[in-house]
A = this chain, B = another copy of it.
Amino acid sequence: VSGGAEWVHLDGRLMRAREARLSVLDRGLLYGDGLFETLRVADGRLFRLEAHLERLAASAARIDLPLPWPRDTLAAAIQETIRANRVRGGAIRLTVTRGEGPPGPESDADSEPHFFVTVRPATPAVAAITLAVAGRHPRTFVPGIKSLCFLPFLQARREARRRGFDDALLTAEGAAVEASTANLFIVRQGALWTPDLESGCLPGITRAAILEIARRVQVPAREAPVPVRLPGEAREAFLTSSVAGVVPVASLEGAPLPGGAPGPVTRRLITLYNACVAEEAA
């Protein structure tokens, strides 16, 4: 971290990371019953915090997870954690857990949710990454929520790395869904194509920003199922995530994207995206 990572905000209070602990009976730990949001911190600032808190609230509603804190409280905790750790560049994560309830999966009545905020260092920026097709996307029947049930993504990524690739493209029922921690875009015939939300992918904040930018500058863009074979036939491909921004895909299963990494469309979008981030931070 540029700045330390020793402070954690837990339930409204800043504390040393080593003191930030939750009960082993928290359903977030026992069952992955909770949600999280991760945001990039750049020059000490956040991109679209409101959109993240909005997505958190929408996801919580879908799993009947009460969020008993005013949104301002969560936003303040995030800002305080950034300040306490003197983070200039890195990532910040807000996690919400269901809390302790009656033991057993049957009921979560009377559980009291917890929230905590943690930071981590910026990962070195990469020029482009290699993708393997690895991992079945879990496509829970609550598609698009960012729950604590993240193991399938970790495993897909691990499999990809074991095979010498940087990241995994997870698939479901013959369609490409997303990478382990990022949404996928491909470029074909000058147009953008990204899996629709029905695919089960996360409704990414950066994904939405790219779609907005494309609309604004009249680059055609569609959200629709992406058959697994298509990314390999694209001119260009890139990933989007809050933490890493827009990252060109150099190759898929070893086959280079012919348009380059970044190709011309991706390069243009990176420039526009960076301008958008800078403008909103101003």
Residues of A participating in the B interface, judged by any CB pair closer than 8 Å:
5, 8, 10, 17-18, 20-26, 28-33, 36, 63-64, 91, 93, 95, 97, 102-106, 108, 116, 118-121, 123, 135-136, 138-142, 147-158, 173, 180-181
Contact = CB atoms under 8 A, between A and B. Distances in A.
A20 B30 CA distance: 13
Q: Say how many copies of this protein the assembly contains.
A: 2
Nearest to A167: B106
Scoring A21, A120, A121, A151 by chain B CB atoms within 10 A of each residue's CB, the highest score goes to A151
Nearest to A115: B24
A32 B149 contact: yes
Nearest to A5: B103
Given A24-B10, A28-B29, A118-B25, A138 B150 contact: no
Contacts of A119: 103
Given A22-B22, A103-B120, A104-B91, A151 B155 contact: no
Contact of A105 (B8, B17, B32, B150): B150
Contact of A142 (B31, B123, B155): B155
